[in-house]
Structure 1
Amino acid sequence: MTAPAARDRGGQDAQTRRTVWVALAANLVICVAKAVGGVVTGSPALLSEAAHSIADSLNEVFLLASLKRSRRPADARHPFGYGMERFFWSLLAAVGIFVTGGCFSVFQGVEAFRSGGSAPREGYVIGLAVLALALAAEGASLGRALFQVRRAARAGGRGMVAEIRAGHDPALRTVLAEDGTACAGVLLAIAGISLHMVTGEIAYEATASVLIGVLLGYVAYVLGRAARVQLIGEAATPEVQREVRAFLDRQPEIDTVPALLTMRLAPGSVMVAARVDLTPGYDSETVENAMVRIRREVSGRWPELDQVFLDVTDAAATRRDTASRPSRPS
């Protein structure tokens, strides 16, 4: 990785680390409040939200581990570094959201449907107060994550929606999804408890618990699918690929670009491997200097393309070889 790119990546990692720490602190506080409130009131929606916060807290520990482990330098066994650790731990976080949060929430809702029950008015007040505190804490954490997304969007010259969809940093993407889902889950729990308090029907609160579980399951699926795509080798965006190919085609030393492959190695790190046919007439020293210049310019124009490999062939020799091959009988 080039020095400017490494410094930029390090700065983004520091921002992400702070965002994860803010999310972890918020979740630990509201996890205790939800758990105590859920046990005191017997509220299934509140217990579901406590399970949600436990899942989020564990996942943030995973994300902090991924941020530390992915920064290890490349070695003989891992020549491209450990950047893909981010994607692996993001996948574990998705599994944690589904198992710890989603399944427990659905279970709590089903149990509430089966057992029925109610709580004294004081219990409802406690539950709503705890959820109000949780909404404030989750909202603050979500605001921090959105602030970082906005900064990244400005740096990349695109809108916030486009930045969120790009989602190259799995740790930030996971925190953003967790906090957004947490706010939605708290609102569902507030609605369920309020309707239970007004009507005396626990079905409303049980339904809210099940909906929280379904929401967590869907978010876990989306995060897991994104992590899977990155783990098995995600290419650079089609726009970047077109720009790089056009840049290579404009170079006077390059005749054609028969193949161009890219793969994301880590957030902010992409490998480019291109087979280029050279224009005839250049001596070996000129070609060597040209390849060094081209690699440097590619990394300079697109800082995330920090691993550039050019497989050089002679265009004239390639044409002669093709022409000398016997044609297949029709």
Structure 2
Amino acid sequence: MSHKPSTPSDRRTRVTVLVALAANLVIAVAKAVGGLIAGSPALLSEAAHSVADSLNEVFLLAALRRSLRPADSRHPFGYGKERFFWSLLAAVGIFVMGGCFSFYQGFDALRSGSTETHDGYVVGLVVLVVALFAEGASLLRALHQVRKQGGLAAGARDPALRTVVAEDGTAVLGVTLAIAGMALHMVTGRIVWEASASLGIGALLVYVAYRLGRDARDQLIGQAADLESSSRIRSLLDAQPEIDSVESLLTMQLGPDSTLVAARVDLVPGLDSEEVELVAVRIKRSVAHTVPEADQIFLDVTDAAIARRAARAEHADSRPGAHVGGPAATGERGGA
């Protein structure tokens, strides 16, 4: 199946995800080897975290490719929501593979007591320091792209980029906790510090997974465009001389760069059907120019006064004991 041409933003996001994937794969192997040598629960927790992040980056790469498929008869609005679905799977991966395994490592360390040795801990700390620099570099790359796309509000529309930023930010905090836990374990000889670090990493991952999953759920259900875009669209519609009033304005995000706009407007009296059609086409072009991501625009032209009278009549007829007469007139002059 052919794909739509990717945008510069899509290409930058793909590079950002590839950078994060490469960093996480290398770091996951290093953490796993170091954790097995040192017998460190905190380091093994971080290894599980990096493995989960690596799988999530694979999910995000699949989402980037699949979301570019063109619209068809079964999906007339395109496949932009693929990114939201795969981001939800990534959140589940962080929760199960990262958070739950970290909790297991922490509780297992507390149960085993102080039988742990410090053999290989120097190697483990070196691995974590290298991981901290690698994760930090990946985070800086993601934040740089967010800034190029217009800041946090604009970058938040792209679930793949949002997930990478969350993963890398969490990784930097997690590695810092692991370093602190291992260092305190070495100084005090008490494994409770390292077990606490593992539990802290687990709690951090569960929280991030919850936030990412909640955002993906909202977007899959159907989330409105941001307030700024909605306000710009409403202001543009209100400024049109042919529009008497904007009765309702509905928006929904279909993807990072795709938004559905449906507006019910009341036109000034005296326009014939040809004029209504020309006005509708011009307004749609103006909306698309003002908000480029608004690529699905629908206008419902109605006579607001007649529609309100019909609504009042329908409400009156629905009251107990009211006599229901013939069908009420809708007063719609047609859709565009």
Residue 174 of structure 1, CA deviation: 0.4
Choose which of 72, 79, 104 in structure 1 pairs with 2:69.
72
CA distance in structure 2 between the partners assigned to 1:87 and 1:248 by the alignment: 30
Hey, what does 1:22 align to over in structure 2?
19
| Correspondence for 2:289 among 283, 300, 319 | 300
Partners of 1:83 and 1:317 lie apart in 2 by: 38
In structure 2, the residue matched to 1:223 is 212
How far apart are 1:282 and its partner, in Å?
1.2
Matched, 1:281 2:270: yes
TM-score by length of 1: 0.90
SS at match of 1:311: strand
Residues 35-76 of structure 1: CA distance to partner in whole angstroms, max 9, x if unpaired? 001111110001000000000000000000000000000000
Q: Which residue of 2 aligns with 1:138?
A: 135
Change (3 A) 1:39 1:246: same
The answer to whether the 8 A contact 2:81-2:220 is kept is yes
Q: Residues of 2 paired with 1:202 and 1:169: CA distance? A: 41
Residue 326 (structure 2) aligns with: none
- C-alpha distance in 2 between matches for 1:52 and 1:70: 26
Aligned match of 1:190? 179
CA offset digits 1:270-304 (Å, max 9, x no partner): 10011112211112111111110000010001101
Q: Please list every run of at least 4 consecutive aligned residues from structure 1 whose deviation after the TM superposition is greater than 3 angstroms.
A: 160-164, 314-330
Task: Give CA deviations for 1:127-177 in whole Å, capped at 9, x if unaligned.
Answer: 101101111111111111011011112xxxxxx45446xx11000000000
Aligned pairs for 1:141-156 (under 5 A) are 141-153=138-150
Measured after TM superposition, the shift of residue 118 of structure 1 is: 2.2
Shift of 1:315: 4.8
| Identity %, equivalent residues | 65
CA pair 107-327 structure 1, distance change in 2 beyond 3 A: closer
Deviation at residue 247 of structure 1 after TM alignment:
1.7
Q: How does 1:167-186 map to 2 (within 5 A)?
A: 167-186=156-175
What SS is found at the alignment partner of 1:108?
A: helix
Q: Provide the secondary structure at the position in 1 that maps to 2:74.
A: coil
Distance change >3 Å, CA 253–CA 38, structure 1 → 2: same
CA contact (8 A) 1:16 1:172 kept: yes
**What is the number of equivalent residue pairs in this alignment?**
315
Pair 41,271 (structure 1): closer, same or farther in 2 beyond 3 Å: same
Higher share of residues assigned helix: 1
Do residues 36 (structure 1) and 33 (structure 2) align? Answer: yes
Residue correspondence of structure 1 range 96-175 to structure 2 within 5 A: 96-116=93-113, 117-120=115-118, 122-153=119-150, 160-163=151-154, 167-175=156-164
Determine the structure 1 residue equivalent to 2:56: 59
Instruction: Point out where structure 2 has 5 or more consecutive residues left out of the alignment.
Output: 323-336
Separation (CA, whole Å) in 1 of partners of 2:309 and 2:210: 52
Cα distance in 2 for residues equivalent to 1:232 and 1:291 = 29
1:325 offset after TM fit, Å? 7.4
Asked whether 1:93 is paired with 2:82, we answer: no
CA distance in 1, matches of 2:161, 2:173: 18
Question: Amino acid of the residue matched to residue 283 of structure 1?
Answer: D
CA RMSD of aligned residues (A): 2.0
TM-score, normalised by the number of residues in structure 2 = 0.89
> 2:169 corresponds to which letter in structure 1?
G
For the residues of structure 2 that align with 1:322 and 1:136, how far apart are their CA atoms?
64
Query: How far off is 1:240 after superposition?
Result: 2.4
One-letter code of the match for 2:19?
V
- Give the SS at the match of 1:118: coil
Deviations 1:77-97 (A, max 9, x none): 000000000000000000000
Please state whether the residue corresponding to 2:7 is helix, strand or coil.
Answer: helix
Relative contact order (alpha carbons < 8 A, sep ≥ 6): 1 or 2 greater? 1
